[in-house]
Amino acid sequence: MTAATHDLLNNLNPQQLAAVTAGTGPVLVLAGPGSGKTGVLTRRVAFLIREMGLRPSGLVAVTFTNKAAAEMRHRIENYLGERQRGLQIGTFHATCARILRIEHEFTPYRQDYVIYDTDDQVAAVTQALGDLSIDTKKFPPRRILHAISSAKNELRQPKDYVPEDYFGEIVSRVYPRYQQILLSSNAMDFDDLLVQMVLALQNSDVLREKYQMKFEYVLVDEFQDTNTAQYQLVKLFGLPQNNIFVVGDEDQSIYAFRGADYRNVLRFRQDYPNAQVILLEQNYRSTQIILDVARAVIDKNTNRTPKALFTTREGGDAITVHEAYDDEYEARYVIEEIETLRRKKMTYNQIAIMYRTNAQSRALEDALVRANIPYTLVGGVGFYKRREIKDLLAYLRVINNPDDRISFDRIINTPKRGIGEKSLQEFHNYAAKLNLTMLGLLDKLAGIEKVALPARTVKLFAEFADKLRDWRQQATTGTLVSLFDTLTTEIGYNLYLLSISASPEEMREREENVAQLRGLLARADDDDIALSDFLADTALMSDVDEVVTDADKVTLLTLHAAKGLEYPVVFITGVENGFLPHFRSQEELEGEEEERRLMYVGVTRAKERLFLTYAFKRTSWGGSEIREKSKFLYDVPLELIADVPAGLKHDSQSTSYRQQTTWDSGGGLNRLKQDLSRIRSLPTTETPTEPADKAPVRAPNSAIRSKILPFPGSAKTQYQAGQRVRHPMFGEGAVIHSEMDGNDEKVTVQFTDRRYGQKTLLAHLANMTLL
C-alpha cells in the first residue's frame, strides 16, 4: 500500500470528517454500531500527530481491551510509520499499571507490586473473613468482594464506606482488613489500579501537573462503559485544557455489573457544556434488515437518546429465527446452516456463534467437533485460569515479590512438602508477632529458639527458604526461561502434575500448557521484559485479546466478548427468557434494559446474515428444563423474519408471553421427524441419535428431576393482576401480571415511581406487601 491510500481524510462522511479534524476542547462522538468509530479514533490520533504536530507521547488513548488497543496501534502505524513511537495506547488498567509502576512513590506500594486477579481477591477476602471470624457460609466471599469492588469503582475508601444494611456492616468490617492484606502483600487488585491512580493524582500537585502537562490530549473509546473512577481519571488527565475526545454509544453499554454507567455520557455533556457533540449515524456494516431488527430490540429502552441509524445497504436477507427441540438440536441446526453457507463459498472465519453464558458453548463445541468444523473459542476457562499455570505463576510472583501472601500460601505446599495448614498458620502468626515479613521470617526461622513448630517443620521451611533465595538470585542474573527451568526441575513439577492428572490426556494437556507458558517467558526474554512487567502483562491479559481472525475457523464467543467485532454471519443461540434476558438481571435495577443492549450488540455484529435460535427444552444440571423463547423476540417485526416459527406467530397476536411451541402437540413429533431426517443427511462422522431416545412428548416421570417446570401460568399464584403492592426499594405499584416459573412466582409490576417503571420480580425475593 502506498502512503496515498492512507490519506487521513479520504472517504470520510461529513460527520466523521468533523470528528477527525475537530479543534481543541472537549468532543463527544456518539457513534452507532458500524459507524466507523475505530477508524475515526485512529485517524484522529494520526491527524493530531501528523497534521497538528503533536508529540506522540503527548497524548493518551484508552480502550477497553488489549485487543482494541493493539488494533488501534496497528492502524495508526499505517498512517504514521515510525512516527508513532512513544504513543500511549492501552486499556485503562494497563495504562494505570504502567504509570503506577513508574510513580510508585506516590502510592503506598512498592515498584514491584503485583496485580491480583479475581481468584486471588477471593482468597484475600476469605483470609480477611477468617481473621475477623466471620462465617463464609453466611457471607460468601464473592458477594463481599462484589460490594468492595463496587465501592472502589465509586472511589469510596474503606473509611468512607457507609453501610446501608446488615450485609453492609459486614462489608464495612471486611473492606479495611482486605485492603490491609493487599497492601502488606504489596498487591493491587484490578480496581486499585484505577483508584490508586486517581488518589495519587488528587493527592500530589507535582504528579498531577506532570501528567496534565504530558498528556495534552486524552482520547477514550467505549466511553459508555466507564465507571466513576475511570471518569474521574479522564477528567484529571484532561485538565486544564480539557482536550478530551470521547467516543461512545449508550446503547452498547453492557458492563454495569462492574460499575460502568452509560450516564457518564450525559454527565460529560453537563461537565463540559461547551463540548462539541458529533453524531455518527451512518452504518457501514449491516444490511437495513439487520439494523431494523436491532432497532426494534433497542427501541423499548427508556433512557436513551434516539438515534437515526441508517445504512446504504438497503434490503438484505431476512433474518432467520429457529426453534430447536433442545440444545443438542440447536447445535446441529447451527452446523447444518454453516455447512449450507460453506457450500455458498462462505468461509468459516466469516461466521460467529454467540451466546449469553460461557457454559452454553459446550453443546456447540461438541457438535462442531463431531462435524469436523474448526473453531476457536474465545474466553471460557482461559489459559491463565488453569491450575498448572496459576501454580507456576504464583512461584514467579513470590520470587518477584516475596510479600505476596496469597501466592505464597498457594505454593508453600504445592507440590506437597509436608507443610500443612496448621504449620502455615503458625508461621504467619510468628511473622505478625515478630513484625517480620514472610521473607524475613523464612531467613530467621531456623535461628529462633522458642518456636511452637516441630523441628522437622522448621527444617522444611528452611529448605524452602534456601531454594527461594537461590531462585531470587537467579531472577536477577539469568533469563526468565532458565529460571523457569530451574524452578520446575527443583520442585519436581512434572511429577506433581502426573499425580494430579486423572488421565494421560489430561497430563498431556497440562504439559502443553506448561510448555506454552515457557514459550511466553522465552518471548519475554527476547523482548527484554523484566519479571515484574511480565507478571503485570499476564495479569491484565484477557481472553478476548487472543481472538485470531486469519485462521479459517468459526468463532465461538459470548455476547460481551463480541463487542467491537463484526462478522458476515452471526448466530445468536439460546435466545430464551432466562438467558436473554438473563434471570439474574431481574434483580438488578434496569437489568432488563442492559440485557436488551446486549442483544442489540449481538445483532449489530452481523453484516449480512443473522440467525436467532432458541430451544424448547435444555439440559442443565443433569435434568432437563422446559424453556420459553425470549420476550425480546416478540419485538422483532414478523416481516423481517424469513421463516417465522409457528409459536412466535401465534404469540405475537396475544399480549401475554404464554409458552407456545410446536413441541407440545402432535405437530411437534412431525417436526422432530423432519428435523431428524434433515440432520441424518448431514455429513457427520457419528451416527445420529435414535429418535426413540429423543421422544419429545413425554410425561414428566421420576427420572426427570423436580427441576422440570410447569407451564407458566398453569399454577396458582400469590399475586393477581390489578392488585396494589409495596416494594421496599421501588415503592408502590400495580401488579400487571403474575405467573409461576417453576417454584418461583414471577410478578410484573408497574411502579408509580417513573424511575423504576415496569419490573418483573421474583415474589419470594422481592419481599413485597399487598396493599
Is the Cα torsion angle 449, 450, 453, 454 positive or negative in sign? positive
Quote the CA–CA distance of 301 and 298 in Å, as a whole number.
Answer: 6
Catalytic residue (choose from 44, 605, 629, 746):
605
Q: For residue 420, how far is the Cα from the chain centroid?
A: 35
Asked if 170 and 215 touch (Cβ cutoff 8 Å), the reply is no
Strands 351-355 and 567-572: parallel
**45-64 footprint of DNA as x/- string (CB under 7 A):** -------------------x
Quote the CA–CA distance of 126 and 113 in Å, as a whole number.
Answer: 21
Of 132-140, 154-162, 567-575, 632-640, the window that binds DNA (rule: CB under 7 A) is 132-140
**307-346 footprint of DNA as x/- string (CB under 7 A):** ----------------------------------------
353 near DNA, rule: CB under 7 A:
no
359 near DNA, rule: CB under 7 A:
yes
Asked if 662 and 643 touch (Cβ cutoff 8 Å), the reply is no
Catalytic residue (choose from 112, 216, 221, 249):
221
User: Of 362, 358, 361, 338, whose CA–CA distance to 348 is shortest?
Assistant: 338
Catalytic residue (choose from 65, 84, 127, 252):
252
Which residues lie closer than 8 Å to 770 by C-beta, 6 or more apart? Answer: 719, 723, 724, 725
Asked if 218 and 243 touch (Cβ cutoff 8 Å), the reply is yes
258 near DNA, rule: CB under 7 A:
yes
3-state secondary structure of 151: helix
**135-164 footprint of DNA as x/- string (CB under 7 A):** -xx--x-x----------------------
Q: Which of 55, 74, 300, 422 binds DNA (CB under 7 A)?
A: 422
E strand map for 319-470: 320-326, 351-355, 375-377
Asked if 112 and 401 touch (Cβ cutoff 8 Å), the reply is yes
Nearer to DNA, 15 or 91 (CB): 91
620 near DNA, rule: CB under 7 A:
yes
Site for DNA in 361-420 (CB under 7 A): 379, 413, 416-420
118 near DNA, rule: CB under 7 A:
yes
Nearer to DNA, 219 or 289 (CB): 219
Q: Is residue 330 exposed (0-12), middle (13-18) or buried (19+ Cβ within 10 Å)?
A: buried
Q: Which of 88, 172, 186, 358 binds DNA (CB under 7 A)?
A: 358
Which residues lie closer than 8 Å to 568 by C-beta, 6 or more apart? Answer: 346, 350, 351, 606, 607, 608, 609
3-state secondary structure of 66: helix
User: Of 295, 289, 296, 282, whose CA–CA distance to 315 is shortest?
Assistant: 289
Cα dihedral: 286, 290, 294, 295 (round 10): 90
Catalytic residue (choose from 21, 38, 212, 437):
38
Residue 495 CB, nearest approach to DNA (Å): 12
Site for DNA in 277-296 (CB under 7 A): none
Residue 456 CB, nearest approach to DNA (Å): 9
Strands 187-189 and 114-116: parallel
Q: Which of 65, 107, 224, 283 binds DNA (CB under 7 A)?
A: 65
Q: Is residue 270 exposed (0-12), middle (13-18) or buried (19+ Cβ within 10 Å)?
A: exposed
764 near DNA, rule: CB under 7 A:
no
Q: Which of 585, 659, 738, 760 binds DNA (CB under 7 A)?
A: 585
Quote the CA–CA distance of 271 and 235 in Å, as a whole number.
Answer: 9
92 near DNA, rule: CB under 7 A:
yes
User: Of 351, 394, 393, whose CA–CA distance to 374 is shortest?
Assistant: 351
Q: Which of 582, 596, 617, 746 binds DNA (CB under 7 A)?
A: 582
Residue 98 CB, nearest approach to DNA (Å): 12
State yes or no: is 588 an active-site residue: no
540 near DNA, rule: CB under 7 A:
yes
Asked if residue 240 has a cis previous peptide bond (ω within 30° of 0), the answer is yes
Beta bridge mates, 352: 555, 570
Of 4-12, 271-279, 310-318, 355-363, the window that binds DNA (rule: CB under 7 A) is 355-363
190 near DNA, rule: CB under 7 A:
yes
State yes or no: is 605 an active-site residue: yes
Quote the CA–CA distance of 317 and 297 in Å, as a whole number.
Answer: 18
Residue 390 CB, nearest approach to DNA (Å): 11
State yes or no: is 38 an active-site residue: yes
650 near DNA, rule: CB under 7 A:
no
* Helices assigned H by DSSP within 253-302: 263-271, 288-298
Beta bridge mates, 324: 615
State yes or no: is 425 an active-site residue: no
561 near DNA, rule: CB under 7 A:
yes
Nearer to DNA, 79 or 175 (CB): 175
Site for DNA in 93-112 (CB under 7 A): 93-94
Site for DNA in 664-683 (CB under 7 A): none
621 near DNA, rule: CB under 7 A:
yes
Q: Which of 282, 423, 660, 662 binds DNA (CB under 7 A)?
A: 423
User: Of 476, 427, 540, whose CA–CA distance to 66 is shortest?
Assistant: 540
User: Of 385, 386, 393, whose CA–CA distance to 480 is shortest?
Assistant: 393
Residues 615-632 as b or e (16 or more Cβ within 10 Å = b): bbbbeeeeebbbbbbbbb
Catalytic residue (choose from 15, 37, 350, 403):
37
Residue 481 CB, nearest approach to DNA (Å): 26
Of 52-60, 204-212, 311-319, 540-548, the window that binds DNA (rule: CB under 7 A) is 540-548
Of 3-11, 237-245, 306-314, 541-549, the window that binds DNA (rule: CB under 7 A) is 541-549
Quote the CA–CA distance of 468 and 53 in Å, as a whole number.
Answer: 51
**What Rg value do the Cα atoms of the chain yield, rounded?**
28
Residues in the interface with DNA (CB under 7 A) total: 49
State yes or no: is 221 an active-site residue: yes
Nearer to DNA, 190 or 663 (CB): 190
Nearer to DNA, 499 or 750 (CB): 499
State yes or no: is 252 an active-site residue: yes
Place of cell 497534521: 51
Q: For residue 465, how far is the Cα from the chain centroid?
A: 38
Nearer to DNA, 12 or 500 (CB): 500
Residue 630 CB, nearest approach to DNA (Å): 14
Q: Which of 622, 666, 683, 722 binds DNA (CB under 7 A)?
A: 622
Nearer to DNA, 243 or 423 (CB): 423
Nearer to DNA, 415 or 440 (CB): 415
Q: Is residue 548 exposed (0-12), middle (13-18) or buried (19+ Cβ within 10 Å)?
A: exposed
Nearer to DNA, 97 or 747 (CB): 97
List, by residue number, the catalytic residues. Answer: 37-38, 221-222, 252, 605
The site for DNA (CB under 7 A) is made up of: 64-66, 91-94, 117-118, 136-137, 140, 142, 190-191, 254-255, 257-258, 356-359, 379, 413, 416-423, 457, 540, 542-545, 558, 560-561, 582, 584-585, 588, 620-622
